Amino acid sequence: MFEQKAEIPFAYDTFIVKQTLKVNNNSYIRRIRNYNHMIEYIKGEIAELSPASATIDCNGLGYAVNISLNTYAAIQGKKSCKLYIYEAIREDAYILYGFADKQERELFLLLISVSGIGGNTARMILSALSPSELINVISTENANLLKTVKGIGLKTAQRVIVDLKDKIKTCGMASGVVDITGPAFTAANAQVQEEAVAALTMLGFAQAPSQKVVTAILKEDANAPVEQVIKLALKRL
């Protein structure tokens, strides 16, 4: 007989996703699609973690979850975490995408509702821009900034804005441009460099140009954390 666990490691549910998401005190994102799923979230110990993926140990069962840089930054350094899940089920694959909060998952779902935007591209966007930055980019129709994300051309950026601008309501948000500053270069951070290049490779970029861009970024700011290095690299590759 198997011993019954006192705590279920993840929640099961089949439901129609909430119609609204609170973004600011009086601003909401309206959902545009139904999402029937089994896994609402996964909660457990962090067995492995990289800027692009996390393995969550739930009572001895490890779940491999694709994550964005925003989620990586939120759970980095923690022993355990709770990730809200989106299940991408295809004929040849069953892929889990995890998010540190529901807002990022909502934005992910909005992004993949746009024609031409798949899970990996949506994750790339959410790695290059924070949720508040993405909301601001869309609401201000800043296609030039959005097209700096790898894999997003001008037409795709414009399509994202046209499809989502009426679904995203913002008020009083600052510019979505990330201001990167820091002390002068002193010495390359080998660990950050290695993790950043590995993450970019996992995201589909060639190793040689990734190495070159990461090295250049670390020369500009040797103390930049790995998530910041990757965000900058995504805009330069």
The CATH number covering residue 55 comes to 2.40.50.140
Q: Is residue 231 part of a domain?
A: yes
Q: Are residues 33 and 90 in the same domain?
A: yes
- Shared domain check, 116 and 70: no
Residue among 161, 170, 174, 231 at smallest CA distance from 203:
231
In a domain, 174, yes or no: no
237/231 Cα distance (integer angstroms): 10
pLDDT band with cut points at 50, 70 and 90 for residue 189: low
Instruction: Indicate whether 171 belongs to any domain.
Output: no
Per the CB < 8 A criterion, the answer to whether 87 and 39 are in contact is yes
20's enclosing H/E stretch is strand 20-24
d(CA 98, CA 96): 6
For residue 35, the model assigns a pLDDT of 54
Q: Kindly state the percentage of the chain with pLDDT values over 70.
A: 75
Instruction: Please check whether residue 213 is in contact with residue 233, taking contact to mean a CB–CB distance below 8 angstroms.
Output: yes
What integer pLDDT is reported at residue 225 of this predicted model? Answer: 87
Q: Are residues 77 and 153 in the same domain?
A: no
**Within-domain flag for 5:** no
- Same domain flag for 151 and 204: no
Residue 180 pLDDT > 50: no
Tell me the β-bridge partners of 49: 54
Q: 28 with 72, same domain?
A: yes
Do 85 and 19 fall within a single domain? yes
What stretches of 57-206 show up as alpha helix (H) in DSSP?
A: 69-75, 102-112, 119-128, 131-139, 143-146, 154-164, 190-202
- Assess whether 95 and 109 both reside in one domain: no
Same domain, 150 and 225: no
Q: How far apart are CA 49 and CA 47, in angstroms?
A: 7
When pLDDT is cut at 50, 70 and 90, the band that residue 182 belongs to is: very low
Q: Is the pLDDT of residue 43 over 70?
A: yes
Listed residues 55, 78, 99: the one ending a domain: 99
Label residue 30 by pLDDT band (50, 70, 90).
Answer: very low
Query: Residue 23: pLDDT band by 50, 70, 90 thresholds?
Result: very low
Q: Which of 44, 64, 99 is the last residue before a domain boundary?
A: 99
* pLDDT(76) > 80: yes
Whether the predicted model's global pTM rises above the 0.85 cut: no
38 and 67 belong to one structural domain: yes
For residue 172, being part of any structural domain is answered with no
Q: What is the pLDDT of residues 100-149, one digit of tens each?
A: 998 899 999 999 999 989 999 999 999 988 888 888 889 888 898 898 88
- Identify whether 141 is part of a domain: yes
Task: Please give the residue range of the domain that contains residue 140.
Answer: 104-164
Least confident of 54-58, 118-122, 175-179: 175-179
Between residues 37 and 84, which one has the greater pLDDT? Answer: 84
CATH of the domain at 224: 1.10.8.10
> Are 130 and 197 members of one domain?
no
Read off the CATH number of the domain in which 154 is found. 1.10.150.20
Q: Mean pLDDT over residues 37-58, rounded?
A: 92
Q: Across the chain, what does the average pLDDT equal?
A: 77
169 part of a folded domain: no
20-29, 64-73, 117-126: the lowest-pLDDT one? 20-29
Contact in structure between 51 and 69 (CB atoms under 8 Å): yes
Q: Domain tally for the chain?
A: 3
Is residue 116 located within the same domain as residue 147? yes
H-helix or E-strand containing 43?
strand 39-49
Task: Give the closest residue to 119 by CA, choosing from 165, 65, 44, 162.
Answer: 65
Residue 228 lies in a domain: yes
**Are 28 and 79 found together in one domain?**
yes
